[in-house]
Amino acid sequence: MSNERTSPSTGQVCVTCVADSLSVMDEELRTLTQRLRQEAGAAASFSYERLAATRDLDELATVLIAPEQPLWARELAAFRLGVAGDRRAFEALVLLLNHRDPQRCASAAYALGRLGDPRTARAAAALATNELRVAYALHPVRLLAELRAPESVPALITTLARRFRPHDPYRRVALACVEGLGALGDEKARPVLNEALVRPELARAAADALKRLPAQRTPRDRD
C-alpha cells in the first residue's frame, strides 16, 4: 500500500506529507507494540516477537481465524494486516473499533483508515449511531471524519443531534462530531452546528466548524 500523497495544486508527490505519514505510522506501531508486548508477558514473548516481526501476511491472517488465540495476538495481527491494506483484517478491526478499551479502539481506527476497504465507512457509521454503544462511539466518529465517505456527514449529524438530550454524558462524542463536521465542510451540517452553538460546552468548536462551511448564498446571489 502506498503512503504517497500529492499536492492538490501541482499533482506532484508531497515529500513532507509522505514523511509525516510515515512518522505517524511509526509512532502508532511503536505505541501498539509496547502495549501488546506488556500484555503478552514474558511467557508469550517468543510468540509475540514472531508476530511482530513476520512479513508473512498469511501467517498474520491465520491468527485471526485460529481458535484460542489471545486478544493481544489478534489485535497485533489485525493491525499489521490493516496497515498493509489486507482486507482479511476487516472484521477483526471493526470488532476492536467498538471495544471497551479506548486504546484498542484507537489502534483499530488507525488501521481501518489505511485498510482501503469500501465497507469501512458503513461499519463505522453503524457503530457511531448505535445508541446502545454510544459510550464507545468516539473513535468511530473520528474515523468517519477521516474517511470523508458519503456515510460520514449523515452519521455525524445523527449522532450529534442525539447528544443534545438533557444531561447527556457523552460530551467527548459530541465534540468529536462537531469537529468532524467542521473538517468535512458540508452545508448539510449547518442546522445541527447552529444548535451546538448555543451549548456552552460545544460553542467554541461549533463556531470554528461553522466558519469552515461554504459561505451561505444570499437572495441576491441566487438571482
pLDDT digits (tens, 9 = 90+) for 95-112: 999 999 999 999 999 999
Q: Are the CB atoms for 150 and 121 separated by under 8 Å?
A: yes
Asked if the model's pLDDT at residue 22 lies above 70, the reply is: no
Q: Are the CB atoms for 108 and 99 separated by under 8 Å?
A: yes
Least confident range from 5-19, 118-132, 169-183: namely 5-19
CA distance 171 to 41: 36
CA distance 12 to 122: 31
Place 16 in a pLDDT band, splitting at 50, 70 and 90.
Answer: very low
Place 208 in a pLDDT band, splitting at 50, 70 and 90.
Answer: very high
Per DSSP, the residues of 144-186 read: HHHHT-TTHHHHHHHHHHHTTSTT---HHHHHHHHHHHHHHT-
Asked if the model's pLDDT at residue 113 lies above 50, the reply is: yes
Angle at 162 between CA 159 and CA 165, to 5 degrees: 150
State residue 23's pLDDT score.
Answer: 61
| Average pLDDT rounded to a whole number, residues 120-124 | 98
Average per-residue pLDDT for the chain:
89
Per DSSP, the residues of 47-110 read: HHHHHHH---HHHHHHHHHSTT--HHHHHHHHHHHHHTT-GGGHHHHHHHHT-SSHHHHHHHHH
Residue 71 to residues 48, 66, 85, Cα–Cα distance (Å): 12, 12, 21
State residue 5's pLDDT score.
Answer: 46
Beta carbons within 10 angstroms of residue 16's beta carbon: 9
What is the percent of the chain where pLDDT is above 90? 78
Q: Is 36 helix (H, G, I), strand (E, B) or coil?
A: helix
pLDDT digits (tens, 9 = 90+) for 64-73: 999 999 999 9
Place 117 in a pLDDT band, splitting at 50, 70 and 90.
Answer: very high
Q: Are the CB atoms for 120 and 90 separated by under 8 Å?
A: yes
Residue 105 to residues 2, 89, 127, 170, 199, Cα–Cα distance (Å): 24, 14, 12, 16, 28
State residue 116's pLDDT score.
Answer: 95
